[in-house]
Chains A and B, each alone.
Chain A
Amino acid sequence: MPDPVAEKVIATLASVKRIPADTITLDTNLQEMGIDSLDVFSLLFELENAFKISIPDDDVRSIKTVNDIVEGVKKLLAAAPPETSMGSASPAS
């Protein structure tokens, strides 16, 4: 069954790395696919905009696979309603 969150995460990741989306699966390891810390920053920025969420710094450190991102985004979406278009007001984000 299609998972819209996973699809969006994979599409965003493909766009950041300029690679075809069908080369990425939930099990893909970010480090192994050549994602460096700057790519992660860009990815998180795009995901925050796409899902209107604010990803805390602490959550970022444990990300290893695509699935980690998908699960993290789902957790954030379940925990809070999407932000307004002004985004998070918290300086920590």
Chain B
Amino acid sequence: MAPRRVVITGLGVISALGLDLAANWKALCQGRPAIRPLEGVDGSRVGLKMQNAAQVRGFDPLKHFEGGKDAQLDRFAQFSVVAARQALRDSGVELTAELREQTAIICGSAVGGQSAIEAGFEDLWVNGRGRVHPLTIPKTMANAGASHIAMDLGLSGPAFTISTACSSANHAIGQAFRMVRDAEVEMALTGGAEAFFNVGMLKAWEAMRVISPDTCRPFSKDRKGMILGEGGAMMILEPLETAQARGAKIYGEVCGCGMTADAHHLTQPTVEGPARAMRAALREAGLAPEAIGYINAHGTGTPGNDPVESRAIRAVFGPHADKIGVSSTKSMHGHALGAAGALEAVATLLVLCKGTLPPTANFTERDPECDLDYIPNQARKAEVGAALSNSFAFGGLNAVVAFRAAPRGSGSP
């Protein structure tokens, strides 16, 4: 049997850019960063220097969870469930008993419910309490997002969480894609979620000296580092034939995923590892390099990542690299770690189904080390048939997802 084609028919997203898909796409089209002064984290006692972040504002768990359920979920799991509900509703899929059993949930999260365990440890070691909240363990576990989605939506197929730092969501999307393609399941709900704005985590990030003191300027000569973000994005993957048979709108097709390890260094990326991942994604997708019109870059805005990623893109695409629009939407929604690939898949699908290439915001000055077309500051209209979304993690684990525009004649979003 030929492998099935896999399409995206539902999207749900919560990020600093907004609490739903429409708000996110609007902000991406406008090139409007959601980087603001850090709120709700008091790090003054321990000299937290971090000034700015891309935090989700206005998310009220009580609007989404009744009867005290909100307290059973860490914020990252709340994002997981709410984004999953949005995606399922958006897809218009009607869940039958059979489909529930044949739907996979593959989530990405780098650090899971770190805020829950930090609160517990604060009780123990700072507040001198002899007890830790009894839900600390089930709130902290990285699979809590997948588990709560399963319970909330009644989906009982294979479900797990993939944790590969900043590549988590891309690894998850790639895994879900293959499970649907290979007919292991009939549908998959996949993406990523992250929420880690607590003092301990922010101090730990600060210690790595990769955080920008002001804003995130990927590929720009004066870039000073990343801006941390949070959020969640989930998508519904189903076979093309199923989607077409029920007349579903189709955002695009997932057609490949390249996964590699640098096998080099914990934090210093290589050119070769990401380049091999991009080539592997193209190969699995059956796409020639010349077919790619847009790359959503990993683009953290750190001095280390951006030139290396630019060289990797040039190594893969040669002269065609100059014809590809490359942007880092982390300049707007921040770096949401295990959710990053999912938020960026949403941005990539905006390109494929609306013909709008989101810009790299906060771009001020070209860097000779970064010599591609980064779509500085202003979105651009262009017809793009295929695109890549890059994620490269600390630990040297790379995952690149290849997307194609929906087949002609499909229902458009």
Contact = CB atoms under 8 A, between A and B. Distances in A.
A17 B135 CA distance: 15
Contacts of B62: 18
The range of chain A's interface size is: 20 to 34
Contacts of B129: 49, 85-87
B67 A17 contact: yes
A16 B71 contact: yes
Interface in A44-93: 44-45, 48-49, 83, 85-89, 93
A58 to B, nearest CB: 16
Interface in B40-98: 62, 66-68, 70-72
Nearest to B66: A18
B131 A42 contact: no
A33 B133 CA distance: 22
Nearest to B132: A45
B131 A49 contact: yes
Contact of B135 (A19, A41, A49, A86): A41
A42 B133 contact: yes
B128 interface: yes
A41 B131 CA distance: 12
Contacts of A39: 68
B158 interface: no
A39 B129 CA distance: 21
Interface of B is mostly: loop
A16 B131 contact: no
Contacts of A18: 62, 66-68, 70
B111 to A, nearest CB: 22
Contacts of B138: 38
Given A18-B62, A38-B138, A87 B131 contact: yes
Contacts of A88: 130-131
Given A16-B71, A49-B129, A42 B66 contact: no
A2 interface: no
Contacts of A4: none
A30 B62 CA distance: 22
Interface string B189-226: 00000000000000000000000000000000000000
Nearest to B62: A18
A17 B68 contact: yes
A48 B135 contact: no
Contact of B130 (A19, A44, A87): A87
B134 interface: yes
A75 B70 CA distance: 32
A17 B68 CA distance: 4
A11 to B, nearest CB: 14
Nearest to B130: A87
For the complex of A and B, the 9 pairs showing the least CB-CB separation, nearest first, are A87-B130, A41-B134, A17-B68, A18-B68, A86-B130, A16-B68, A45-B134, A87-B131, A17-B67
Given A17-B68, A42-B134, 19 more contacts: A17-B67, A18-B62, A18-B66, A18-B67, A18-B68, A18-B70, A38-B135, A38-B138, A41-B135, A42-B68, A45-B131, A45-B134, A49-B131, A85-B128, A86-B128, A86-B129, A87-B129, A88-B130, A93-B131
18 contacts: A18-B62, A18-B66, A18-B67, A18-B68, A18-B70, A19-B67, A38-B72, A38-B134, A38-B138, A39-B68, A41-B135, A42-B68, A42-B135, A49-B129, A49-B131, A86-B129, A87-B131, A88-B130
